[in-house]
Structure 1
Amino acid sequence: MIIVFVLIVLLTLAVLVTANWYVWRRLFRDTTSGPGWVRRTGAVVVAGGWVLVVGAVAAERAGAPFWLQRVLGWPGYLWMALSIYLLLAVVAGEAVRPLLRRLLERRDGRRAPAPAAAVPHPESVPTGAPHKEPQEPEESQAPDSPRLVAAPSRRLFVSRVVGGAAAAAALGTVGYGTYGVLRGPKVKRVTVPLAKLPRAAHGYRIAVVSDIHLGPVLGRGFAQTVVDTINSTQPDVIAVVGDLVDGSVKDLGPAAAPLAQLRARHGAFFVTGNHEYFSGAEQWVEEVRRLGLLPLENAREELAYFDLAGVNDIAGESEGQGPDFTRALGDRDTARACVLLAHQPAQIHDAVEHGVDLQLSGHTHGGQLWPGNFVTAAANPTLAGLERYDDTQLYVTRGAGAWGPPTRVGAPSDITVIELASKQA
């Protein structure tokens, strides 16, 4: 087992080193005519960026002083996102290079003047002068070949154009994706019909928010934006479906304080996500309770029109606090509709077995950074949106925040308002 782990680590390091050398080569070595400060600066930027990435992750996991986590977090996590899109951009540039070179060759061919044809002129030879054979010009006297001179210059021009475009595309992508996160999640509205829902509950609104990920990067200001957005929807119930924080109550208690301002007619509820178990789940359960949210730890609330249940996240199993569907749902009245809060979509199979009508989940971030959505989709039954599993419906929100890089590409953040519809209405 240790040998396998070491091999995986070495393989990962080899891939990272190779990928970053390739990025450095295309962006710095191939765009310069020789060794110099540009290449050295590029090496420092690429290597230093990954030092910050490792430092940011290690500081967060090790519980380093919070000021240090914040200092390393912003540049480290942003470089993580930027390096992904720099690599993708320079790989895409490989398809452009030959096309651009061919275009330049054709342009140069049209511009080059046709060589004048040599017309022999007889020379008058004085009588008695020795006859001289015509001599070919010496190689050293021959003019330089236009092809040999232009080719290196053309390659350098192509490398600069493609490298510059790749850098601009990566910076633009990460910049826009980061702006989208910091601007705050948009409200998404989804209507979900439930067969057992009484007519009086038609139009009942549940504001679902997940994956806020308060931490060294997203702090109190971001929490306030999320709270204000939720309150603007005037929900009947608020469901916070896990991964609220990345850090301890000591460090992030002030950042989470705006949650006390959440307002809904029938209250705000909370279930743990996997990141709570990295951050001290028991302390956070007590903290959200102090802030006015009701934690559903494998528990159920009988609301006026349906049952609202919640189970702990799967990550709690390592601490003996895993999900317990029997405890949460075992003795309920099955004639009533039931909505379940469960952080991970993978918990849908247990929900089906226990006759849940609707499960609300997060966890996936919708993939967060394209093309990561393909990997995330393979690891979860539903990536985002509403799907049906037998008689149970599953809705997965993309989440409000972001883990690691405060950046989303192809997976915009959201707060979803689920509007329940009665089939009797």
Structure 2
Amino acid sequence: MAAFFAVILLVIVLIHYYLFKRLVLDTTRPGWARRVGTVIAAGLTLLVPATLIGVRAGHVRWLAWPGYLWIALMFYLLITLLVLEVPRLLVRLTRLRRGRAGDGAEVTPTGDAADLALQPAGAVPAGTSGETPGATGDSPTRDSPTRDSAAATDATGATGAATDTPGGVDRRLVLARGAAIFAGLTAASVTGYGIRTATSAPRIDRVRIPIAKLPRSMDGTRLAVVSDIHLGPLTGIGHAQRITRVINSVDADVVCVVGDLVDGTVAELGRLAEPLRGIESRRGAYFVTGNHEYYSGFEPWIDEVTELGMRPLRNARVEIDGLDLAGVNDLGGDQFGDPADFGRALGDRDRSRPVVLMAHQPLAAKDAAPYGVDLQVSGHTHGGQMAPFNLLVKLQQPVVSGFGRVDGVPVYVTNGAGFWGPPVRVGAPPQVTVVELRVA
């Protein structure tokens, strides 16, 4: 574990050094501006681990907003600047090719230079007095080639490209400042959009899924699937109120809350969860643990969820008018002595009835496959939350958002109704998913 945290810390330091290089060193000359930028860069470097460790531990929750907002800005600054490295590299390669072409070129003497080359060493060209122009104070009738060459070198630099604009401003400095301004505006705009999206009411995502063994009496049954509410230091009581209103607006038969309800203890966040008591459904609301419940004290939260009117399915199932609804503990519960037990939840059931499995992580479908699960509903991924981070999530979870199959098991993954870490969602809006079960 210590090695893992050391790697994370090293990555954080390297990212901030890169940002410091592009946004401070490349855009300023030595002086007070660079010194101020250096101090700010050092402070932001320390802010990230302080936020990730201190806020989660509950010691410095006042850092949550500035810390997580900087993490989002840092992420999009890094993405934008890395994209800008492409034209920067192309310019360098072009200059390098021009430089090599110039080094390999042969110069053919012409005019007076050719005549001089054909005369013996020490000979004086015809029509001259033998005196060096300018040696006696007379003005030369033609500029010296040596002087011309030096002037050309001063004007163009070693690579043949001008480094100064006519006004004397370093062209590289101008380009670096332009890139920094562009990156800053882009990152700020994307982050601002992401904040507005993440803190708005969840959108309703509707999907119809056929199940071959579904009784006709259950045809059209609506499951309201909600995940990753993440009540925490950045959410007020309005967060749960908005989500409850959206759930109730879909007129669901069954509500499935598939984990990551909280990021803190019952003592800290119990009052923020109170609006969930108002969730309405025809056949009940059910809950399974996510990995964050185990970071927050899962046993008190199991009691609290029950008191709020939701029924925890802890490696268990219920029968609802010919449909089995099962739930397993999160895969991460094994580290806390509360593992997922698929055999207990699914092993002795009547397989002539269809079963819908609530499991926080899509990856759980690999363990559920031998039990003939007809549909698994999950969350955990947040849909990637901040694109293009979704590309990395795909490396760990078989389905990031929407419908997919895992070892033959149909799996539907909702984006989640909240956010974790930065209060930012880009490319993955918050959702409450309505799964309508249909007879195949």
**TM tier, smaller:** 0.7 to 0.9
In 1, the alpha carbon distance for the partners of 2:349 and 2:249 equals: 33
1:38 counterpart letter in structure 2: A
Matched, 1:302 2:304: no
2:36 counterpart letter in structure 1: T
RMSD (Å), alpha carbons: 2.8
In 2, the alpha carbon distance for the partners of 1:51 and 1:302 equals: 52
Residue 171 (structure 1) aligns with: 188
1:22 counterpart letter in structure 2: Y
Matched, 1:28 2:24: yes
SS of 2:350 mapped into structure 1: coil
Cα distance change of structure 1 residues 11 and 301 upon mapping to structure 2, 3 Å threshold: closer
What displacement does 1:413 show?
Answer: 2.0
Residue 255 (structure 1) aligns with: 272
2:411 counterpart letter in structure 1: L
In 2, the alpha carbon distance for the partners of 1:368 and 1:325 equals: 29
| Identity between Structure 1 and Structure 2 (%) | 48
The farther-off stretch of 305-314 and 53-62 is 53-62
In 1, the alpha carbon distance for the partners of 2:369 and 2:200 equals: 37
* Contact 2:365 2:407 (8 Å CA) reproduced: no
- Moved beyond 6 Å, runs of 4+: 98-102
* Contact 2:163 2:171 (8 Å CA) reproduced: no
Cα distance change of structure 1 residues 56 and 198 upon mapping to structure 2, 3 Å threshold: same
* Contact 1:227 1:259 (8 Å CA) reproduced: yes
Residue 74 (structure 1) aligns with: 65
In 2, the alpha carbon distance for the partners of 1:76 and 1:50 equals: 10
Residue 268 (structure 1) aligns with: 285
Matches within 5 A, 1:43-54: 43-54=38-49
SS of 1:90 mapped into structure 2: helix
Matches within 5 A, 1:5-154: 5-6=2-3, 9-32=5-28, 34-64=29-59, 68-69=60-61, 71-97=62-88, 133-135=138-140, 145=155, 147=162, 149-150=164-165, 153-154=170-171
* Contact 1:242 1:362 (8 Å CA) reproduced: yes
Cα distance change of structure 1 residues 63 and 9 upon mapping to structure 2, 3 Å threshold: closer
What displacement does 1:191 show?
Answer: 0.5
* Contact 1:218 1:406 (8 Å CA) reproduced: no
SS of 1:42 mapped into structure 2: helix
What displacement does 1:318 show?
Answer: 2.2
Cα distance change of structure 1 residues 24 and 298 upon mapping to structure 2, 3 Å threshold: same
For residues 12-33 of structure 1, give each alpha carbon's deviation from its aligned partner in whole angstroms, at most 9, with x where no partner exists: 444432321221221223222x
Matched, 1:420 2:416: no
Residue 379 (structure 1) aligns with: 396
For residues 51-98 of structure 1, give each alpha carbon's deviation from its aligned partner in whole angstroms, at most 9, with x where no partner exists: 33222222233332xxx41x1111111111111111111122223447
What displacement does 1:389 show?
Answer: 4.0
In 2, the alpha carbon distance for the partners of 1:416 and 1:46 equals: 41
Matches within 5 A, 1:206-355: 206-355=223-372
For residues 208-234 of structure 1, give each alpha carbon's deviation from its aligned partner in whole angstroms, at most 9, with x where no partner exists: 011111111123211111111111111
* Contact 1:271 1:296 (8 Å CA) reproduced: yes
* Contact 1:272 1:312 (8 Å CA) reproduced: yes
In 2, the alpha carbon distance for the partners of 1:58 and 1:336 equals: 46
The two structures have a TM-score, normalised by structure 2, of 0.81
In 2, the alpha carbon distance for the partners of 1:10 and 1:234 equals: 49
SS of 1:275 mapped into structure 2: helix
1:256 counterpart letter in structure 2: A
* Contact 2:16 2:45 (8 Å CA) reproduced: no
Cα distance change of structure 1 residues 285 and 22 upon mapping to structure 2, 3 Å threshold: same
In 1, the alpha carbon distance for the partners of 2:7 and 2:261 equals: 33
For residues 386-417 of structure 1, give each alpha carbon's deviation from its aligned partner in whole angstroms, at most 9, with x where no partner exists: 12346531111111111111112222221110
* Contact 1:214 1:256 (8 Å CA) reproduced: yes
* Contact 2:387 2:427 (8 Å CA) reproduced: yes
What displacement does 1:167 show?
Answer: 0.7
* Contact 1:50 1:79 (8 Å CA) reproduced: no
1:189 counterpart letter in structure 2: R
2:72 counterpart letter in structure 1: A
The two structures have a TM-score, normalised by structure 1, of 0.84
In 2, the alpha carbon distance for the partners of 1:79 and 1:148 equals: 34
Cα distance change of structure 1 residues 360 and 264 upon mapping to structure 2, 3 Å threshold: same
Residue 412 (structure 2) aligns with: 395
Residue 111 (structure 1) aligns with: none
Cα distance change of structure 1 residues 196 and 11 upon mapping to structure 2, 3 Å threshold: closer
Which consecutive residues of structure 2, in runs of 5 or more, have no partner in the other structure? 94-135, 157-161
Matched, 1:198 2:215: yes
Task: Determine which structure has more spread, i.e. the larger CA radius of gyration.
Answer: 2
In the alignment of these two chains, the number of paired residues is: 388
For residues 162-195 of structure 1, give each alpha carbon's deviation from its aligned partner in whole angstroms, at most 9, with x where no partner exists: 1100111111111111111001321100110000
Cα distance change of structure 1 residues 98 and 319 upon mapping to structure 2, 3 Å threshold: closer
Which consecutive residues of structure 1, in runs of 5 or more, have no partner in the other structure? 103-130
In 2, the alpha carbon distance for the partners of 1:382 and 1:148 equals: 51
* Contact 2:244 2:275 (8 Å CA) reproduced: yes
What displacement does 1:364 show?
Answer: 1.2
What displacement does 1:372 show?
Answer: 2.1
